[in-house]
């Protein structure tokens, strides 16, 4: 049985430099956050909304641990250029739920400058929710440029490039079960790219 589970585990990609938060650490912190949120929102029927893509994994694990039933909602935004200092975003997939008069808890994977969330919060507040708060797995306050009302933080992190547990490098590595720093010089091709390379090599 042990052998069976071992052969099914994915190997750690070479791009992983150092695991910063392993599966156990993340899972116990997610449970703590979920207990806190469960206490604060009991009987308030909140909308728990993950911001795609990064927060998908964290949102899934968080709602699993809440003490009240909740169906997570999701919003997807597109930023107008990463270097933009306005944080201006376009909503490319909106929430399913009408948030007017409802308590909203936005879920993020990481807050850096805060520009994205600052802008998104302003858009959502125009819809008159009863309240709006933010829960982020990771908070990188040293990069903060804009105020954001973060209520729940999983871990504070410093300015290192992180991958895993939803965080990506060009859409790679979101599926890693841990958060790790990355060797930026080692980027492995995705399976599809590898297949293409193999085909090309045969030609």
Instruction: State yes or no: is 112 an active-site residue.
Output: yes
Which residue lies nearer to ligand PRP by CB, 37 or 137? Answer: 137
**Closest CB to ligand PRP belongs to which residue?**
54
Element (H, E) at 41: helix 23-41
Hey, which residues does 110 pair with through a beta bridge? Answer: 138
Which residues form the interface with ligand PRP (CB under 6 A)?
51, 53-54, 79, 87, 108-116, 168
Going from the C-alpha of 99 to that of each of 119, 121, 155, the distances in angstroms are 17, 12, 28
CB atoms within 10 A of CB 20: 19
Strands (E), 42-168: 47-52, 73-79, 89-93, 103-111, 131-139, 150-156, 162-163
Give 30 or 110: the residue with its C-beta nearer to ligand PRP: 110
**Min dist. Cβ of residue 55 to ligand PRP (A):** 6
Q: Minimal distance in Å, beta carbon 61 to ligand PRP?
A: 16
The residue with tokens 């003490």 is 67
Distance of CA 101 to the CA centre of its chain: 26
Residue 119 C-beta: closest distance to ligand PRP, Å: 8
Nearer to ligand PRP (CB atom), residue 29 or residue 79:
79
CA dihedral 185, 139, 59, 31 (to 10 degrees): 110
Alpha helix segments (H runs only) across 55-114: 56-64
Q: Which of 45, 109, 112, 168 is catalytic?
A: 112
Q: Closer to ligand PRP at the Cβ: 158 or 196? A: 158
To ligand PRP, the closest distance from the beta carbon of 8 in angstroms equals 27
Catalytic machinery residues: 112
């Amino acid at each position: 049985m042990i052998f069976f589970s071992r052969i099914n585990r994915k190997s750690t990609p070479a791009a992983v430099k150092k695991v910063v938060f392993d599966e156990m650490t993340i899972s116990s912190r997610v449970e703590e956050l979920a207990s806190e949120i469960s206490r604060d929102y009991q009987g308030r029927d909140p909308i728990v909304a993950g911001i795609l893509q990064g927060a998908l994994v964290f949102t899934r694990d968080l709602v699993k641990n809440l003490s009240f039933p909740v169906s997570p909602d999701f919003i997807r935004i597109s930023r107008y250029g990463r270097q933009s200092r306005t944080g201006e975003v376009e909503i490319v997939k909106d929430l399913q739920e009408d948030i007017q008069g409802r308590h909203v808890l936005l879920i993020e994977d990481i807050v850096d400058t805060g520009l994205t969330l600052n802008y998104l919060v302003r858009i959502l507040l125009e819809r008159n929710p009863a309240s709006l708060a933010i829960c982020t797995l990771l908070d990188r306050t040293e990069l903060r440029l804009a105020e954001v009302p973060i209520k729940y933080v999983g871990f504070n992190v410093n300015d290192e490039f992180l991958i895993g547990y939803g965080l990506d490098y060009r859409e790679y590595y979101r599926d890693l079960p841990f958060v790790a720093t990355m060797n930026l010089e080692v980027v492995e091709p995705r399976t599809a790219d590898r297949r293409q390379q193999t085909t090309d090599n045969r030609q």
